[in-house]
Structure 1
């Protein structure tokens, strides 16, 4: 006898255990991946095949296409990824998410609690982070299989319920109208649940108990492929034009793919049944359909792999299409950094990768400000006001970027379960952002000192200008040397950094002594002398903060040089 209330709380409870298992699996796999996600992102090139492989790999690691696509929207929004790259990664993510279906198709549901038992104690009590993460994978798989088993048992009474079976006669996916109805239901429910994996689990549970036929299950999966794109669409709200185009490309690709499959739906299902071992409608002694899950998993994989292969040669056309649909609204600038989605829903390693990308972009801005200052130190420079304005804009931008990096990183660390290594890395990123912002502040200070000279129509001697230009050149070279750690050209040697910093201190003392000698000789007035001293001190402070930047990137805690 069907008890709606009991069925409802059992299904919801099983779904909750299932979703918890998926979250544990995602967290543990991304922790085990270490820096792989960051390296995969940084390896992106304009090569569309490589972009697809990166998207597939990342999604297979974190077991969530939503996380990958939200990350892609965030990177394109920050100007760190081109639209063509983003589309390639999204296509790969669609393939990567099909791994979930095969995990669910493995018939070990009865052993779910055994996996939990094997993994729970090492997960909770092991001090080795890697062993704890591996144990968490076992617990996660156990929860996934156990949750699926609970849902399957809860759905069994539906097989003999007249009302539900009459509904299934309407939504049997045998006619175009019922087929579209199934797709719409799968799409709508996925939008509500915000997880295609959860809906796939429900679909497999219904099909495995015989509550719905295989045609209906595959049609629901097609709808779930469309529904999962809502996450990227929500993430793109208020983002840059490129980010919104990336989200639209995701939706467009999935909708086009689904409608192509709908046009050949019966032959497509027939091909799936022919390839998959065992008949989808085979009923065992327990009244279940043991081969239904494999049929659904294969249909899901075939759809996404085939659609990706077909679309791959036409990525440029897809890019042009979304560009026409969402035209430029004025100014194609990259804009300030905006992290997309709640950090709590994002794996720590992936969030840290986005922070590193933004930190690299912030470094590029600061480097540009330093070069502008070098131009201003030449007396014959034309258009000084333009350079002043550029440095001022960069200083204001770095203020915003430093705030955003700090806020996002702290929230990410608080919301997610980070390892000690990840926490140290995140702290280093926050400190590095603070040092870069301080360097930008001193570049703006040098500009204000230059304006002081112009306002009072003052000048330095030729030797004084040469000393400043020389010191700036050495400080900029030092900044570039330290920055190699950000460019992944290898961590710079701390001993050599300290040796170089000491040499720059000696150079600063030499320049100061030469300045004092000129002042005593009457070659430099009081106000120009004060301004020269202020500018030299600002350059020395930039050197100090560059030393601090090295310590932040190498996760050291020694005091300022």
Structure 2
């Protein structure tokens, strides 16, 4: 091998690397830029199947990977967030969304000004300036997108230039002639390449680069493209290992959908090529590949959309459901809901973990109710339940913190970083609320052991304090759940009342002690209870403050 040939090989490898990196950087920037909108899309997951198709198309167009979308869908199914019927629509839409990349790659054939070598350096230059020298988060994200676009196109240009000297080499014409004449070999080639690089968008881009140099014929390109659409299923199938049977079925549905489409179109195109061998052997352009890729995925969705139910049933035949699934405890359910596959799209992962943090809040409020009942009734049984709930909430904290750390290691925009940071703090505050509930339960046990009885007046005062504190905590949880400023304001008002009430009740208690209508030992428990309740309200106020900061 000569120095020139080695140089060309390095240029192709470098170009491929830049193409893959540019596509990833562009998708990363798009995802950050669309952060809040991506969270809003989660609401459509419970809508009808057609909405699922639109959702899958939109998400894949943003993250530039149908494999990533499908892996995320497997995660959603495994977490029990969506069912298989809803998953089918999103999977179909993901196949349509992935065609966007092929159109971006074929831009160089749209006109002289759209050729990579013309505008790509300018994109990288402008993008780098925005990323490095602007303080605005939005401008930085735009810069990342531009740099990604630019590097992607420079990579394509490098790959194309490295192949140009060999466009007339017999090996290419012979290879594509063999792949074109044998549909199975063509499909297998596309499947293997896509399975190895784990991206149909990238493998289609490589094929389009070869097409730009006029060395790919129609029949080989069609069969390879069909194989690439099957190969993209490998990622989802691998990700389903270790998931539950329903999630495995989601990955199998993706495979069935793409294989069925490949068989239908493979047969149609085989007949067409037989009838028109001149067309079959003619050169295909990168735009031609984009057109077929789009027609295939859109038509496949239109054809199979009415039979989505059959795809679900067929997946059940291939992946047998367990007759009885072992019951799962609360910790296990939370771990299942926080599926790591959903981390493929941080916006969805944040929305999902926010939901679980809210659940932790309601568990803390339940613990407050138990602690209040134990304190007022001097009930040791209720106090033991508080201890058990405290252990459960401690486990919640570990699970949620671990997942939030993983989200924080993803590529997030400034708004998402703030939200994740506040969720860290919120989890800590809910855990502290439960700690104060545990303190109240210990006071309840001490009260029972020493046969301490509050006066009617003191008992009514504690009840009043508990009512205000509970209201404060409930409004804080709802503020976290809905991001509603009215709930935040309600917490602030409750906190003011709690602070005033604590001061007032302490003064009344001192008056009772002075009048000797209350025993000092009773007063210690009463004052400790007030202090713990007031601290719970403080934590509720903290939680509402985080929500306010996000607006």
User: Which runs of 5 or more residues in structure 1 are unaligned?
Assistant: 274-278, 283-288
Q: Structure 2 vs 1, CA of residues 393 and 6 (structure 1 numbering), >3 Å: closer, same or farther? A: same
Q: Which residue of 2 aligns with 1:335?
A: 334
Pairing of 1:132-281 with structure 2 (within 5 A): 132-156=140-164, 159-172=167-180, 174=181, 178-266=182-270
* Partners of 1:300 and 1:262 in 2: CA distance: 13
Q: 2:402 is matched with which residue: 360, 380, 404?
A: 404
Q: Structure 2 vs 1, CA of residues 112 and 485 (structure 1 numbering), >3 Å: closer, same or farther? A: farther
Q: 2:357 is matched with which residue: 351, 358, 362?
A: 362
User: Which runs of 5 or more residues in structure 2 are unaligned?
Assistant: none
* Partners of 1:426 and 1:512 in 2: CA distance: 38
Q: 1:373 is matched with which residue: 368, 377, 383?
A: 368
Pairing of 1:432-511 with structure 2 (within 5 A): 432-451=426-445, 460=454, 463-488=457-482, 490-492=484-486, 497-511=491-505
* Partners of 2:521 and 2:478 in 1: CA distance: 39
Pairing of 1:289-304 with structure 2 (within 5 A): 289=283, 292-304=285-297
CA contact (8 A) 1:203 1:217 kept: yes
Q: 1:261-320 deviations in whole A, cap 9, x for unaligned? A: 33434257799x9xxxxx7866xxxxxx5x522222222222222232333334444445
* Partners of 2:492 and 2:247 in 1: CA distance: 42
Q: Structure 2 vs 1, CA of residues 372 and 48 (structure 1 numbering), >3 Å: closer, same or farther? A: farther
Q: Structure 2 vs 1, CA of residues 387 and 100 (structure 1 numbering), >3 Å: closer, same or farther? A: same
Q: Structure 2 vs 1, CA of residues 50 and 487 (structure 1 numbering), >3 Å: closer, same or farther? A: farther
* Partners of 2:531 and 2:314 in 1: CA distance: 54
Describe the SS at the equivalent of 2:46: coil
Q: Structure 2 vs 1, CA of residues 491 and 244 (structure 1 numbering), >3 Å: closer, same or farther? A: farther
CA contact (8 A) 2:101 2:201 kept: yes
- Cα drift, residue 238 of structure 1: 3.3
Q: Structure 2 vs 1, CA of residues 300 and 146 (structure 1 numbering), >3 Å: closer, same or farther? A: same
Q: Structure 2 vs 1, CA of residues 486 and 342 (structure 1 numbering), >3 Å: closer, same or farther? A: closer
Q: Structure 2 vs 1, CA of residues 360 and 295 (structure 1 numbering), >3 Å: closer, same or farther? A: same
User: Does residue 542 of structure 1 match 2:532?
Assistant: no
CA contact (8 A) 2:367 2:390 kept: no
Describe the SS at the equivalent of 1:171: helix
Q: Which residue of 2 aligns with 1:286?
A: none
Describe the SS at the equivalent of 1:211: coil
Q: Structure 2 vs 1, CA of residues 94 and 376 (structure 1 numbering), >3 Å: closer, same or farther? A: same
Q: Structure 2 vs 1, CA of residues 433 and 10 (structure 1 numbering), >3 Å: closer, same or farther? A: same
Q: Which residue of 2 aligns with 1:311?
A: 304
* Partners of 2:353 and 2:495 in 1: CA distance: 27
User: Does residue 119 of structure 1 match 2:113?
Assistant: no
* Partners of 2:221 and 2:420 in 1: CA distance: 43
Q: 1:221-240 deviations in whole A, cap 9, x for unaligned? A: 22222222232333334345
Pairing of 1:496-535 with structure 2 (within 5 A): 497-513=491-507, 530-535=524-529
* Partners of 2:395 and 2:313 in 1: CA distance: 31
Q: Structure 2 vs 1, CA of residues 525 and 331 (structure 1 numbering), >3 Å: closer, same or farther? A: farther
* Partners of 2:533 and 2:304 in 1: CA distance: 53
Name the structure where helix makes up a greater proportion of residues: 2
RMSD of the alignment, in Å?
A: 3.8
- Cα drift, residue 96 of structure 1: 0.8
Q: Which residue of 2 aligns with 1:276?
A: none
User: Does residue 431 of structure 1 match 2:432?
Assistant: no
Q: 2:548 is matched with which residue: 547, 551, 554?
A: 554
CA contact (8 A) 1:226 1:254 kept: yes
Q: Structure 2 vs 1, CA of residues 370 and 264 (structure 1 numbering), >3 Å: closer, same or farther? A: same
- Cα drift, residue 37 of structure 1: 0.8
Q: 1:431-471 deviations in whole A, cap 9, x for unaligned? A: 22322333343344444544555666766555555444443
CA contact (8 A) 2:393 2:431 kept: yes
Describe the SS at the equivalent of 2:484: coil
Q: 1:151-202 deviations in whole A, cap 9, x for unaligned? A: 2333345554344444434322x4xxx3222222222221211222111111
* Partners of 2:200 and 2:483 in 1: CA distance: 39
Q: How high is the TM-score relative to the length of structure 1?
A: 0.81
Describe the SS at the equivalent of 1:554: helix
- With 249-258 and 377-386 compared, the bigger mean Cα shift is at 377-386
- Cα drift, residue 79 of structure 1: 4.2
Q: Structure 2 vs 1, CA of residues 351 and 111 (structure 1 numbering), >3 Å: closer, same or farther? A: same
Q: How high is the TM-score relative to the length of structure 2?
A: 0.83
Q: Structure 2 vs 1, CA of residues 470 and 426 (structure 1 numbering), >3 Å: closer, same or farther? A: same
* Partners of 2:378 and 2:314 in 1: CA distance: 49
Q: 1:72-104 deviations in whole A, cap 9, x for unaligned? A: 334444444444333332222221111111222
Aligned residues: 532
CA contact (8 A) 1:77 1:334 kept: no
- With 79-88 and 395-404 compared, the bigger mean Cα shift is at 79-88
Q: 1:209-249 deviations in whole A, cap 9, x for unaligned? A: 34332222222222222222232333334345554443333
- With 36-45 and 233-242 compared, the bigger mean Cα shift is at 233-242
CA contact (8 A) 2:273 2:280 kept: no
CA contact (8 A) 1:366 1:440 kept: no
CA contact (8 A) 1:236 1:243 kept: yes
Q: Structure 2 vs 1, CA of residues 361 and 529 (structure 1 numbering), >3 Å: closer, same or farther? A: same
